[in-house]
Structure 1
């Protein structure tokens, strides 16, 4: 390990952590999912705080869409820096052989991150048609 890493680690342990620099942050998101013109009922949607490095991503909330395809998620976590919230949608819309789910990841803008345990405003992603093929989607997610 480099000396600079050890200095940063000691600073974090002895100065930053006890000072209360970690803060609770919250986020909320809602929307309605469709597969073509039909509601995407019973589709798994998860709210995560995406973390870099060895720190695993934090699952903040999860739900399955209702019969009309709608969902609402909210969650909070304690972090030193701003959280990086995203929703992950697992679905089999427009798949001929749905052995695994398609995974969509949608980032949530910083303006929807709030201090405290309750978000003041929810991001509304609106009505989304899951037939769309995203360049970055994972079509081999069998273990979410």
Structure 2
């Protein structure tokens, strides 16, 4: 009986996890030039002992354009964020500037396929954000 109860609890917990997906696109520039080869990472930011999940990672193309999407199985809603790691106006600092942009919950889809991609439009990386940090990991 205990074995059956444990099996039922485990099965219930398995079904409680659900696949959620998100996506983001845009174009990056540094001044009036396309920001080519900028590293982008789409994460599900997790608190506590569970490490952040990388949903997708890419670099901008020759025009500065990007499109990232991905999914994760979670019990609670995912907390997606885009991390942009760049050298635009870094003033000779050996570490790269890192921006973190939170993706609103309206762009989270239940299931593995993204239904609505967040469009950031054109972002000029010359802007200095109050909360930006530095990334020395290449």
- The DSSP-based 3-state class of the residue aligned with 2:106 is helix
Deviations 1:23-80 (A, max 9, x none): 0000010000011111100000110000001110000000000011000000000000
2:131 corresponds in structure 1 to 136
- The DSSP-based 3-state class of the residue aligned with 1:25 is strand
Deviation at 1:95, TM superposition (A): 1.4
Question: CA-atom RMSD, angstroms?
Answer: 1.6
- Number of residue pairs matched by the alignment: 131
1:1-144 residue pairs with structure 2 within 5 A? 14=10, 16-18=12-14, 20-139=15-134, 141-143=135-137
Cα distance in 1 for partners of 2:125, 2:64 equals: 11
Deviations 1:71-125 (A, max 9, x none): 0000000000100000000001011214111000000000000011110110000
- Runs of 4 or more, structure 1, over 3 Å off, are 13-16
* TM-score, length basis structure 1: 0.86
Deviation at 1:129, TM superposition (A): 0.5
Q: Structure 1 unaligned runs (5+)?
A: 1-9
